[in-house]
Structure 1
Amino acid sequence: MIDSILDRMTLEEQVSLLSGADFWTTVPVERLGVPKIKVTDGPNGARGAGSLVAGVKATCFPVAIALGASWNPDLVKQMGVALARQAKSKGAAVLLAPTVNIHRSGLNGRNFECYSEDPMLTSGLAVAYIEGVQGEGIAATIKHFAGNESEIERQTMSSDIDERTLREIYLPPFEQAVRRAGVMAVMSSYNRLNGTYTSEHHWLLTKVLREEWGFDGIVMSDWFGSHSTAETINAGLDLEMPGPARDRGDKLVAAVREGKVDAATVRASARRMLLLLERVGAFKSKPDLTERAIDLPEDRALIRRLGAEGAVLLKNDGILPLAKTSLDRIAVIGPNAATARVMGGGSAQIAAHYTVSPLEGIRAALSNANSISHAVGCRHNRLIDVFKGKITVEYFKGRGCNGDPLHVDTVDKGEFFWFELPSDELDPADFSARMVMQYAPEESGEHVFGMTNAGLARLFVDGRLMVDGHEGWTRGANYFGTANDEQRGAATLDAGRSYELTVEYEPSMASEEGINLIAVRFGVEKPLGEADIAAAVETARNADVALLFVGRDGEWDTEGLDLPDMRLPGLQEELIEKVAAANANTVIVLQTGGPIEMPWLGNVRAVLQMWYPGQELGNAVADVLFGDAGPGGRLPQTFPKALTDNSAITGDPAVYPGKDGHVHYAEGVFVGYRHHDISAVEPLFPFGFGLGYTSFRWGEPRLSVREMGPDGISVSLEVTNTGDRPGSELVQLYVRSPKAKVARPDKELRAFAKLLLQPGETGTAVMKILPRDLAYFDIEAGSFRAEPGGYQLLLAANAADIRSVIDLPLPAGYMQPPSTA
């Protein structure tokens, strides 16, 4: 059928398939019955075509690092199934996920959106995720291919990575997604790889992806991430997104006529697009692009379970789990206590059905809610609190908010990110909007107003200009680098009085990098200070236990910018020190998208890392704190004692964050625990670390054969729960290699098994490795090579806790070209 359609297509029609129709859909060819399909973000929820911050509600699942911490492919596959169902509810046939870039620096703004520092763990979870999604008839899109481990100058930066490091660290998750999961789509990254944009990288997209790995799906650009016509399609980029066409369309037709692009190349890309439509069932029934909100009890239960499975208990002197009946007074403190920080920022954002804050979850878990006291203590927000309340929005043709409004809306939040305007009569390049709202402060005193805008905007308070985001506008870090840095203004306000706030907005379509967005965010807050910390300290002093919820949120852990450091932002460290001094029973609950430094660690009794676990956050937190569920997580990323202990933080800007448009991955394959091993730098918490509420006894490991052969080898190990609570144990299998002609890590993760056991129950961890798991990539030979000799298998609870060492001979040398399965 596909070839028949292609034979009847004109060149122009074939070309039309190779660009989006708009932000989220492909171009139909109605004459030949070729429908359009919709794509949707993202990794932790299916948003649909709505705004990043509004639109049809969607189910919010845990972010990728929380899934990485679960080390549970079976649960991740279940989440993939649920996400496919959510994608269908948004009329989408393609899910733009998963993200499998590697945790390199610890400062990447999208660290939360990626699984792990280890390519094997990342690969296993990505394969499970893709199998879950695609098993339900929805295409998964693995991203970002490749070398996108930082958000700094990401549209232009060249990630300079040698081939061995690429093959061993950064490419395996993509390779396994193709070979094992049959992923249907790959998204090229914004950055350049060794000087060439990945969207124009023939070696990457054709030689490696298609010819070596056998990929037969489509390659799409990241949004506005393609920059040329002939170069991209000749390299292997099929779909330019978003639409309408910028470098394809008439330009591509002309390139074929002029001989710069072979007509067969266009046909091959068009064929892959039609094959995608066939695979997602678009030819069998016309896709229904209607968007609906479905909030299912089974999804709620899965999210809650995943939250506990990914929760990592980093420290516990016996205070956890808390006994519900023996605590008369519980202090719930911190900037993340009463606010549900359920997701990171950027394109992964969705409008969740609901969110449960830790304070709400704890209150729901306890029969005596009166025993709970609450204090904020301090803020950690990077941007001023967004305005929440009734806002009347008037839309006008042209700039300046002149004449009668064409359309009027009422919304409840001061953030607008328009993919589509509310009327087809409004031109995204030539419209304006006026937002009017009332603000009545609860307390008198100085208040700070803030606004950031992709476009031009002004904020007025009772008619007086308070924040000018118009005159002198310059590009900053917000909204993927298309908006200015937040502009602020302060005023003294009186409690009980109502003030009229007005924001006037108009787009500015000028862009240095081709990314054109229209967005504005504004808010107001009364700053907190030492008096608020003092109030939190008193709250803690009068409690039996102080639960302190700290960390970051989606303003810090976000697409578009990297973190400035690895410390808790704001006054949180001061809050921790003072609360811990006032209450000896202080428990820290962290929410971050990656590692942080912990100078206060010795002053608290327990530390629980919850990441951003989705809409059931508060319930999952309560489950773990009170022992209704055990903390099932293990670290997917090393937590260093200090930022400078990270392999990428050398003091040389060429290594990180980059210099003169290049970032040099000088550490090579020694990323994460590999770096800590080889440099003997002790981490704060090692890769794979995590505590639980029970104890386990490990038996002696057994091998299926005595030496490595072509069919591989299985390792089995009995594990018994010797405690009085159910719990999960993780067995990690590392390979240690003999000396080779290249420097190799001390050990490398090659398999793992997670067991959930009841008290007294014994289970068997079974792990299989293949000859390639002993290999490194030999650049000269262009192959994976394992030299003959004595290897070792290390059975470990984490990267620093080796329980058994097994000698494994490899009698004959092994070499595998990357083009073989």
Structure 2
Amino acid sequence: MIDDILDRMTLEEQVSLLAGADFWTTVPIERLGVPKIKVTDGPNGARGAGSLVAGVNAACFPVAIALGATWNSALVERMGVALAGQAKSKGAAVLLAPTVNIHRSGLNGRNFECYSEDPMLTAALAVAYIQGVQSQGVAATIKHFAGNESEIERQTMSSDIDERALREIYLPPFEQAVKRAGVMAVMSSYNRLNGTYTSEHPWLLTKVLRDEWGFDGIVMSDWFGSHSTVATVNAGLDLEMPGPTRDRGEKLVKAVRNGEVKPETVRAAAGRILTLLERVGAFENTPDLTEHASDLPEDRALIRQLGAEGAVLLKNDGILPLQKPGLGHVAVIGPNAAEARVMGGGSAQIAAHYKISPLEGIRASLSNANSIRYAAGCRNNRLINVFSGEMRVEYFKGQNLTGSPVAAEPANKGEFFWFDLPSPELDPSDFSARMTAFYTPTESGEYIFGMTNAGLAKLYVDGRLLVNGYDGWTRGDNYFGTANVEQRQGVHLEAGQQYQIVVEYCSSATVEEGINLTAVRFGVEKPLGEADMAEAVETARAADIALLFVGRDGQWDTEGLDLPDMRLPGRQEELIERVSAVNANTVVVLQTGGPIEMPWLDKVKAVLQMWYPGQELGNAVADVLFGDAEPGGRLPQTFPKRLADNSAITHDAAIYPGKDGHVRYAEGVFVGYRHHDTRGIEPLFPFGFGLGYTRFSWGEGQVSTTEMEPDGITVTVDLTNVGDRAGSELVQLYVRPLAATVERPDKELRAFAKLRLAPGERGRASLLVKPRDLSYFDMETKAFRAAAGRYQLLLAANATDIRSAITIENPREWIGKTSDRFI
């Protein structure tokens, strides 16, 4: 059927398939019965065509690092199935997920959106996620291919990575997604790879992806990530997104006529687009692109289960789980206590069905809610709290707010991110809008108004220009680098008095290379000071237990900018110090998208890392704290003692964050625990670490043979739950070469198994090690090579806790081609 359609297409029609119709849909060809399909952002939900801050509600699942912490492929596959249902509820046939870039620095703004520092763990979870999504007839899109481990200058930066590091660390998740999961789509990254944009990189997109790995799906650009006509098509980029086209259309037709692009190249790319439509069933059933909210009880239960399964207990001096009977007075303190920080920022954002804060979850879990006292203590938000309340928005043609509005609509949040405008008469590059709202403070005092805008804007309070986001506007660090740095201004407000807030916005007249967006965000807050800190301390002093909720939020952990350091922002470290000084039973609950430094660690009784676990945050937290569920997580990323211990952090800016448009991955394959183990640098918490609420005894590891065979070696170990409650234990298998002709990591993760056992129950973990698991990528032969000789198979509870070491022999050198189908 595909060839028949292609035969009947004109060149112009074939070309039309190679760019989006708009922000979210492909181009249809009605005369040939070719429908259009919709794509939707993931990976922790399915947003649909709504903006990043609005749209139809959707189920909000845990972020990827929280999934990485589960080490539970079966559960992640179940999430993939659920997400496919969510995508269908938004009329979408393609989910733009999963994200499988590697945790390199710990400062990457999208660290939360990626699974792990380890390619094997990343690949295992990505394969499960893809298989779940695609089992329901929805295409998954693995991203970002490749070398996108930082958000700094991400649209132009060249990630300079040698081929060995690429083959061993950064490409395996993509390789396994193709070879094991049959992923239907790949998204190229914004950055350049060794000097060439990935969207026009023939070695990456054609030689490696298609010729070596056998990928037969589509390659699409990241949004606005295509920079050329001829180079992208010839390199293997099938679909330019979003539409309408900038680089294709008549430009590509002309390039074919001029002989710069072969007609068969266009036909092959168009054929892959048609094949995608066929695979998602678009020819059989015309896609219904309408959107609706789908809030299913089974999704709620799965999100809650995933939240607990990914929770990592980092420290426990016997205080957890808390016993509800006789618990006494509980102080719930911190900037993340009453706020539900359920997801990171950027394109992963969705409009969640609901968000349960830790305070709400704890109150629901305890029968005596009167025993709970709450105090914030301090703030941790990077931007001023967004305005919340009724407002009216009027839209005008042109950029001067003149004439009668062509559209008007109500809103209840002071953040607007326009993918689609409310009237077809409005031009996204030539419109203006006026937002009118009223604010009545409950306390008198100094308030701060803040605004950031992609485009130009001014904020007035009772007719007075207070925040000027117009004069001297320059690009800053918000909205993927398209908006200015937040402008702030303080003003005294009286309690009970109503103030009119007017924001006047106009789209920018200047269109720059790269992403161009229209957005504005404004807010108001009363700063917290010493009195609020003192209130939190006194609340803790009067309590039997202090539960301290600290960390970051989606303004810090976000696409578009990297973190400044690994410290808790604001006065949170001071809050921990002062609370723990007056209450010996202090439990810290962290919410971050990656590692942090913990100078206060020795002063608290317990530390629980919850990440951003989705809409059931508060319930999952309460489940773990009170023992209704165990903390099932293990770290998917090393937590260094200090930022300087990370392999990417040196005195050379060219290694991180980059210099003169290049960031050099000088550490090679020594990323994460590979760096700490091999260089002898003790971590704060090692890769794979996590405590539980029960105890396990381990037997000695056994192997099916002590000589590597073509089909591999099976390794088994028996575990027994010797505690008094059910729990899970994670068995990690590392390979250590005992002799090597090239520098290799001390050990590398090659398999894992997670067992859940009842008290007294015995179980067996079975793991398979194959010849490639002994190998490294040989730069001379351009193949994976396992030298003959001795290797150790290490069974471990984490990267520094080895329980068994078994020596095996590789009797003869093994060479694995990059095109081998079985890996």
Would you say 1:730 and 2:730 are equivalent positions?
yes
Would you say 1:594 and 2:588 are equivalent positions?
no
After TM superposition, list the pairs within 5 Å mapping 1:354-369 onto structure 2.
Answer: 354-369=354-369
Residue 420 of structure 1: how far off its partner (Å): 0.2
Residue 705 of structure 1: how far off its partner (Å): 2.1
Counterpart amino acid of residue 407 in structure 1: A
SS at match of 1:318: coil
- Of stretches 470-479 and 695-704 in structure 1, the one that deviates more from structure 2 is 695-704
Deviations 1:106-148, CA, capped at 9 Å, x for gaps = 0000000000000000000000000000000000000000000
Aligned to 1:495: 495
Aligned to 1:609: 609
Aligned to 2:294: 294
Residues 706 and 807, structure 2, Cα contact 8 Å, conserved in 1: no
Aligned to 1:231: 231
So what's the TM-score if we normalise by structure 2? 0.99
Residues 48 and 291, structure 1, Cα contact 8 Å, conserved in 2: yes
Residues 155 and 513, structure 1, Cα contact 8 Å, conserved in 2: no
Tell me how far apart the structure 2 counterparts of residues 667 and 52 of structure 1 sit (CA, whole Å).
35
Counterpart amino acid of residue 582 in structure 2: A
Tell me how far apart the structure 2 counterparts of residues 604 and 502 of structure 1 sit (CA, whole Å).
46
Aligned to 1:430: 430
Counterpart amino acid of residue 207 in structure 2: K
Task: Number of aligned residue pairs: give it.
Answer: 821
**Cα separation, partners in 2 of 1:509 and 1:42, compared to 1, 3 Å:** farther
Aligned to 2:80: 80
Aligned to 2:786: 786
Residues 334 and 375, structure 2, Cα contact 8 Å, conserved in 1: yes
Aligned to 2:265: 265
Residue 511 of structure 1: how far off its partner (Å): 3.8
After TM superposition, list the pairs within 5 Å mapping 1:71-470 onto structure 2.
Answer: 71-470=71-470
Tell me how far apart the structure 1 counterparts of residues 156 and 786 of structure 2 sit (CA, whole Å).
37
Counterpart amino acid of residue 114 in structure 1: C
Residue 323 of structure 1: how far off its partner (Å): 0.6
Aligned to 2:515: 515
SS at match of 2:164: helix
Residue 678 of structure 1: how far off its partner (Å): 1.2
Residues 44 and 60, structure 1, Cα contact 8 Å, conserved in 2: yes
Tell me how far apart the structure 1 counterparts of residues 75 and 513 of structure 2 sit (CA, whole Å).
39
Aligned to 2:680: 680
Residue 398 of structure 1: how far off its partner (Å): 1.6
Deviations 1:207-262, CA, capped at 9 Å, x for gaps = 00000000000000000001000000100000000000100000000000000000
Tell me how far apart the structure 2 counterparts of residues 395 and 807 of structure 1 sit (CA, whole Å).
72
Residue 395 of structure 1: how far off its partner (Å): 1.0
SS at match of 1:523: strand
Q: CA RMSD in A?
A: 0.6
Deviations 1:586-625, CA, capped at 9 Å, x for gaps = 0000000000000000000000000000000000000000
Aligned to 1:801: 801
Residue 397 of structure 1: how far off its partner (Å): 1.5
Tell me how far apart the structure 2 counterparts of residues 496 and 562 of structure 1 sit (CA, whole Å).
40
SS at match of 1:638: coil
Aligned to 2:633: 633
SS at match of 2:739: coil
Tell me how far apart the structure 2 counterparts of residues 714 and 226 of structure 1 sit (CA, whole Å).
46
Counterpart amino acid of residue 689 in structure 1: F
Residue 325 of structure 1: how far off its partner (Å): 1.1
Tell me how far apart the structure 2 counterparts of residues 742 and 159 of structure 1 sit (CA, whole Å).
24
SS at match of 2:480: helix
Counterpart amino acid of residue 109 in structure 2: G
- Of stretches 202-211 and 708-717 in structure 1, the one that deviates more from structure 2 is 708-717
Deviations 1:734-755, CA, capped at 9 Å, x for gaps = 0001322210000000000001
Tell me how far apart the structure 2 counterparts of residues 785 and 738 of structure 1 sit (CA, whole Å).
15
Tell me how far apart the structure 2 counterparts of residues 774 and 623 of structure 1 sit (CA, whole Å).
41
SS at match of 2:222: coil
Tell me how far apart the structure 2 counterparts of residues 323 and 818 of structure 1 sit (CA, whole Å).
54
Residue 513 of structure 1: how far off its partner (Å): 2.5
Tell me how far apart the structure 1 counterparts of residues 805 and 739 of structure 2 sit (CA, whole Å).
17
Deviations 1:404-428, CA, capped at 9 Å, x for gaps = 2111111110000010001111111
Aligned to 1:739: 739
Residue 706 of structure 1: how far off its partner (Å): 2.4
SS at match of 1:112: helix
SS at match of 1:773: helix
Tell me how far apart the structure 1 counterparts of residues 754 and 741 of structure 2 sit (CA, whole Å).
35
Residues 673 and 687, structure 2, Cα contact 8 Å, conserved in 1: yes
Counterpart amino acid of residue 644 in structure 1: A
Report the identity percentage: 78
Would you say 1:584 and 2:584 are equivalent positions?
yes
Residue 584 of structure 1: how far off its partner (Å): 0.5
Counterpart amino acid of residue 390 in structure 2: K
Tell me how far apart the structure 2 counterparts of residues 106 and 175 of structure 1 sit (CA, whole Å).
24
Tell me how far apart the structure 1 counterparts of residues 398 and 363 of structure 2 sit (CA, whole Å).
50
SS at match of 1:481: coil
Aligned to 1:70: 70
Residues 739 and 789, structure 2, Cα contact 8 Å, conserved in 1: no
Residue 482 of structure 1: how far off its partner (Å): 0.3
SS at match of 2:301: helix
SS at match of 1:594: coil
Tell me how far apart the structure 2 counterparts of residues 555 and 754 of structure 1 sit (CA, whole Å).
34
Residue 559 of structure 1: how far off its partner (Å): 0.1
Deviations 1:623-670, CA, capped at 9 Å, x for gaps = 000000000000000000000000000111000000000000000000
Residues 510 and 516, structure 1, Cα contact 8 Å, conserved in 2: no
Tell me how far apart the structure 1 counterparts of residues 55 and 512 of structure 2 sit (CA, whole Å).
29
Aligned to 1:61: 61
Residues 549 and 589, structure 2, Cα contact 8 Å, conserved in 1: yes
Residue 764 of structure 1: how far off its partner (Å): 1.1
SS at match of 2:479: helix
Tell me how far apart the structure 1 counterparts of residues 78 and 88 of structure 2 sit (CA, whole Å).
16
Deviations 1:442-480, CA, capped at 9 Å, x for gaps = 111110000000000000000000000011100001000
Deviations 1:346-388, CA, capped at 9 Å, x for gaps = 0000000000000000000000000000000000110000000
Tell me how far apart the structure 2 counterparts of residues 85 and 552 of structure 1 sit (CA, whole Å).
30
Residue 509 of structure 1: how far off its partner (Å): 4.8
Tell me how far apart the structure 2 counterparts of residues 23 and 204 of structure 1 sit (CA, whole Å).
26
Tell me how far apart the structure 2 counterparts of residues 433 and 55 of structure 1 sit (CA, whole Å).
19
- Of stretches 760-769 and 463-472 in structure 1, the one that deviates more from structure 2 is 760-769
Structure 2 gaps of 5+ residues are none
Counterpart amino acid of residue 210 in structure 2: R
Residues 752 and 767, structure 1, Cα contact 8 Å, conserved in 2: yes
Tell me how far apart the structure 1 counterparts of residues 570 and 400 of structure 2 sit (CA, whole Å).
38
Residue 401 of structure 1: how far off its partner (Å): 1.6
Residues 440 and 499, structure 1, Cα contact 8 Å, conserved in 2: yes
SS at match of 1:478: coil
Tell me how far apart the structure 2 counterparts of residues 182 and 509 of structure 1 sit (CA, whole Å).
44
After TM superposition, list the pairs within 5 Å mapping 1:513-662 onto structure 2.
Answer: 513-662=513-662
Counterpart amino acid of residue 205 in structure 1: L
Would you say 1:751 and 2:751 are equivalent positions?
yes
Residues 637 and 687, structure 1, Cα contact 8 Å, conserved in 2: yes
Residue 514 of structure 1: how far off its partner (Å): 2.6
- Of stretches 460-469 and 761-770 in structure 1, the one that deviates more from structure 2 is 761-770
Counterpart amino acid of residue 321 in structure 1: P
After TM superposition, list the pairs within 5 Å mapping 1:706-721 onto structure 2.
Answer: 706-721=706-721
